[in-house]
Amino acid sequence: MECKDFKCPPDRTDCCCRRLMYTQPDFAKVESNLESVCRARGVNVIFLPKFHCELNFIEQCWGYVKQLYRMKERSSSEADLERNVLDSLNAVPQSSMQRFFVRSGRFVDAYKKGLDGKQAAWAIKKYRGHHILPESIMQELEQSR
């Protein structure tokens, strides 16, 4: 027995068999294969939370560079590939970098106000000309449903 779509109530540990087993110490503290292999080789493994690339404007710049690079003529010459990468890196306008920086700030502000990813994307599109979202954004989200 499992909760619908694996969405267990956050305050329950015994709502379904899956959650019951997942919260048992014998199962929760089991080392993964990755951890075992790395530990055997003397390497530490650190698991970090899911990365949100919209919070880092450098990631958005890198996406722009990759888009420019894909428009270049294909080549198998290492010199051509290196030149294409450097040309693409240098072709990102500073104004685009600044726009990406402001956009990242809007996402940070949206997450601070309690919005999830989908809600944040909607709010940022709606308030594109603003540096931060209005304090009433949560009420607006409720009204739009």
pTM above 0.85, yes or no: no
Domain boundaries, the chain: 4-40, 53-144
- Alpha helices in 2-116, H assignment, sequence order: 17-22, 25-28, 33-40, 57-70, 78-90, 94-112
- Reported as a single tens digit per residue, the pLDDT across 66-107 is 999 999 999 999 999 999 999 999 999 999 999 999 988 888
Three-state DSSP at 41 gives: coil
- Reported as a single tens digit per residue, the pLDDT across 115-132 is 888 888 888 888 877 777
DSSP 13: S
pLDDT at 42: 95
Cα 9 to the center of its chain, rounded Å: 24
Q: Mean pLDDT of all residues in the chain?
A: 85
